[in-house]
Amino acid sequence: MHTKRINTPLDHRQIAGLRSGEEVLLSGVIYTARDQAHKRLAEQIKKRVKLPFVLKGQAIYYCGPTKTPKGKAIGSCGPTTSKRMDEFTPALLKHGLKGMIGKGSRDKEVVAAIKKNKAVYFLAFAGCGALVSKYVKSARPIAYKELGPEAIYELKVKDLPLIVGIDSKGKDVFEKYKHQYKTI
Amino acid sequence: MRIIKAEKIKNAVAQLCLKANFSLRPDVLSALKSARAGEKNKRAKSILAAIIENARIAKKERLAICQDTGLPTVFLEVGQDVLIRGELKSAINKGIEEGYKRGYLRNSIVPDPLLRFGPGYSPVVIHTDIVKGKRIKITVLPKGFGCENKTQLKMFNPTANTEEIKRFVIETVKSAGPDACPPYIVGVGIGATADYAVLLAKKSLLKTIGHRPSTIDPLTAKLLKEINKLNIGPMGLGGRATALAVNIEKYPTHIAGLPVAVSISCHALRSASVLL
């Protein structure tokens, strides 16, 4: 079976067919945003200020890359823990965000918001920043540059290998292990 | 009395930053390879292969193994017969800055934890031990924060049994679940005071992993076995390899208490040492 190829911007047709657990290769433009960028985006949505990029149909990558070595498109750039973005995610989805890329599980509210807005959450190879950098063709900061690695970068990726974590029907790949993750 | 110049310490620290961030520790790499060989779950096997490939690319191309190059923790063992010429703390911070800049590593440190503005490379966290002799041992541990956030401390009653301690360690691994880049290396600090137990847990991550089960203590072996039954696996997508190792450090403690701390490391456990 061939691995499915998908492209950004994401549309309903591409997303509807994806199933949790499935492997895909993603190409096109994605935007990095992590903690501080999420806080700012959520604030700007609340204040109805124009966002630094149009969220509709786009995918956000939870990533803060290292500095870019000479001669490379980007430095090490693996995913960061998605859970920390959970409190800001439903507002972004409501605003048209279609895809998220990160590592690890999400909370119930995010799963519900993904289902409601027919979006998708992908997992990238966790702790493999050097490997992931091979699929990034270009990178440039487009907003919040003063945040350094937490700025929003526009990345062009080619065939970035991902696993569908939560599909548009709200099916969560981590669901079957959830009973084991009791809190202390 | 032996004189060591601060400049020499600075240069050594800069080198250690590059070594730790580009070359995965040989013991960790070989534990990953044995985990891949012992894994029956097909997806887990292929994720472990990607992790091993990542380490290969990082070393070959001098790229950071992980973009989270940590809030570096520096462990010093300073011989009491050493005289340091120059300023030790600033030499270490300058060495970190130099190494991190040279290696295009990440500036992840915000000067104010509440204002969170203007990330830089230092100051780092330094733990110093004064020991016998006339040498200095320097270790750099660039531990990422995805796993640092999963650290737990529990003050047990002195009458608690090992079963309760075991349960606490396992629950800590479960609560980290798929989020902190499993397979983990689980560091456990038992005894001393609250603060020191957390330090012991972190320090235990510096111990070489992958010893034969027969040479490790029974608690370590039992914990590893039970953790690897949790089926969290690489990336949390199932599999046998939830932890590559459990390391325990103990210290005498008070009659009224039993502190236990757990410091979890992601699979990219990076550290490098030098003896000056």
ipTM metric: 0.93
A3 pLDDT band (50/70/90 cuts)? confident
C-alpha torsion sign, points A164, A153, A79, A1: positive
CB contact under 8 Å between B177 and A150, yes or no, is: no
Q: What is the pLDDT of residues B189-213, one digit of tens each?
A: 999 999 999 999 999 999 999 866 5
User: B51 in contact with A at a CB cutoff of 8 Å?
Assistant: yes
DSSP state of B87: -
C-alpha–C-alpha distance, residues B131 and B133, integer Å: 7
Contact B88, B5 (CB under 8 A): no
C-alpha–C-alpha distance, residues A173 and A137, integer Å: 29
Q: Which residue of B has its CA nearest to A70?
A: B104
C-alpha–C-alpha distance, residues A57 and A50, integer Å: 16
* pLDDT, position A183: 47
Q: What is the pLDDT of residues A31-74, one digit of tens each?
A: 999 999 999 999 999 999 999 999 999 999 999 999 999 999 99
* pLDDT, position A175: 87
* pLDDT, position B214: 59
B218 pLDDT band (50/70/90 cuts)? confident
Selected from 2.102.10.10, 3.20.130.10, 3.40.47.10, 3.90.79.10, the CATH number assigned to the domain covering A4-160 reads: 3.20.130.10
Q: What is the pLDDT of residues A100-116, one digit of tens each?
A: 999 999 999 999 999 99
Q: Strand pairing of A99-102 and A23-32? A: unpaired
Q: What is the rounded average pLDDT of the residues A12-31?
A: 95
* 228-267 of B, contacting A, C-beta below 8 A: 230-232, 235-238, 266-267
User: A149 in contact with B at a CB cutoff of 8 Å?
Assistant: yes
Q: What is the pLDDT of residues B238-260, one digit of tens each?
A: 999 999 999 999 999 999 999 99
Q: Is the confidence at residue A179, as pLDDT, over 70? A: no
C-alpha–C-alpha distance, residues B237 and B35, integer Å: 15
Q: Measure B252 CA to nearest chain A CA, in Å.
A: 26
Q: What is the dihedral of CA A106, A110, A115, A121, to 10 degrees?
A: -50
**Residue A69, CA atoms < 13 Å, CB-side half-sphere:** 18
Q: What is the CA radius of gyration of chain B?
A: 19
Q: What is the rounded average pLDDT of the residues B11-21?
A: 98
Structure tokens at B222: 């039992």
CB contact under 8 Å between B117 and A128, yes or no, is: no
Q: What is the rounded average pLDDT of the residues A1-7?
A: 84
Q: Is A1 or A84 the better-scoring residue by pLDDT?
A: A84
Q: What is the CB neighbour count within 10 angstroms for residue B220?
A: 18
* pLDDT, position A181: 53
Which of A20, A23, A67, A76 would you mutate first to test chain B, the one with the most B CBs within 10 A? Answer: A76
Q: Measure A140 CA to nearest chain B CA, in Å.
A: 16
C-alpha–C-alpha distance, residues A91 and B99, integer Å: 40
Q: What is the rounded average pLDDT of the residues B163-172?
A: 96
Which of B179, B244, B270 would you mutate first to test chain A, the one with the most A CBs within 10 A? Answer: B179
Q: Average the pLDDT over each of A45-49, B7-11, B50-54, B181-185 and give the range with the smallest value.
A: A45-49
Listed in sequence order, the residues at least 6 apart from B102 whose beta carbon sits closer than 8 Å to its beta carbon are B14, B18
Q: Measure B170 CA to nearest chain A CA, in Å.
A: 10
Q: Residues of A with CB below 8 A from B98's CB?
A: none
C-alpha–C-alpha distance, residues B127 and A142, integer Å: 39
* pLDDT, position A111: 96
Which of B154, B168, B180 is the closest to A81 by Cβ?
B180
Structure tokens at B234: 């690489």
For chain A, domain boundaries: 4-160
Q: What mean pLDDT is reported for chain B?
A: 96
Alpha carbon of residue A99 to chain centroid: 6
Q: Is B204 or A184 the better-scoring residue by pLDDT?
A: B204
A178 pLDDT band (50/70/90 cuts)? low
Which of B54, B69, B116 is the closest to A66 by Cβ?
B69
CB contact under 8 Å between A181 and B177, yes or no, is: yes
Q: What is the rounded average pLDDT of the residues A14-25?
A: 95
* 85-104 of A, contacting B, C-beta below 8 A: 103-104
CB contact under 8 Å between B51 and A127, yes or no, is: yes
Q: Measure B210 CA to nearest chain A CA, in Å.
A: 20
